[in-house]
Amino acid sequence: MTILDRIVADKKIEVAQRKSIFPVAYWEASPLFERTTKSLAARLKKSASGIIAEHKRRSPSKQNINSSLSVSEVAKGYENAGVCGMSVLTDGKYFGGSLDDLNLARAVTKFPLLRKEFIVDEYQLIEAKAHGADVVLLIAAVLSREEIRQFSALAKSLGLDVLLEVHNLEELQKSIMPGLDMLGVNNRNLKTFEVSLDTSRSLADKIPTDFVKVSESGISDVAAIKDLMTFGYQGFLVGENFMKTNDPGQAAGDFIKQLEA
């Protein structure tokens, strides 16, 4: 069983438990549920840098990245740095995150927030909206084409942007459909956790121009982003590069200044 298989199996158990405690009606009554969302895709199209900065405490491949900073501090720092949006890890067991992190980030910022999660049930989209998310991540490696269609349709009905993540050509081909705003190429193989930017380069011309192209993971320098821009990418998800510092917001600001110089 791969790491991804274990995560998905655990996630299905977790979601079933949450559904038994908090019915959909509970989340639909949340004050944030009626909030008007902001489009990350629209911001990426207008941005010169396209940075989506991430809050991530740890991961299966790196047990501790940065657990000392509050989500609120990181979120405010990123927004002040001028990033396009923030990705918030909400998985607890493997990444040390929670839905509370999304709430805390939403309370202090106005820019788009992405719920980065292993979504296996429509219920998680309702949770995302109730906790202030503007964008949800769907991972092609763990969903069927029909699930991608159903989940993206519900997300759009809730006013959420959809970032669909792929790792190879097969996943990309099964995933292309209306209802997606952004197509992300994850440079990290979720089965082995090895990273290569060649994944983004090789899939770039296979992604229709209808979608905003986003490159995810393994991006640690300005040169890599400038190279990926020549392949048509407009969004760049950067996490560990900022989170491993004492001041992620400052690191993101300095990075953007170099990128736009």
Give catalytic residues, as residue numbers. Answer: 54, 56, 116, 165, 186, 216-217
Q: Which amino acid is at 57?
A: R
With CA atoms as reference, report the closest residue to 197 among 216, 211, 210: 216
Q: Which amino acid is at 149?
A: R
What residues have CB less than 8 Å from 225, skipping those under 6 apart?
Answer: 49, 50, 219, 233, 236, 259
Any idea how long the chain is? Answer: 261
Nearest to 178 by CA among 205, 147, 211: 211
Residues 12, 119: Cα–Cα separation, whole Å? 9
- In this structure, what token pair is assigned to residue 81? 């740095």
Give alpha helix (H) positions in 37-70.
Answer: 40-46
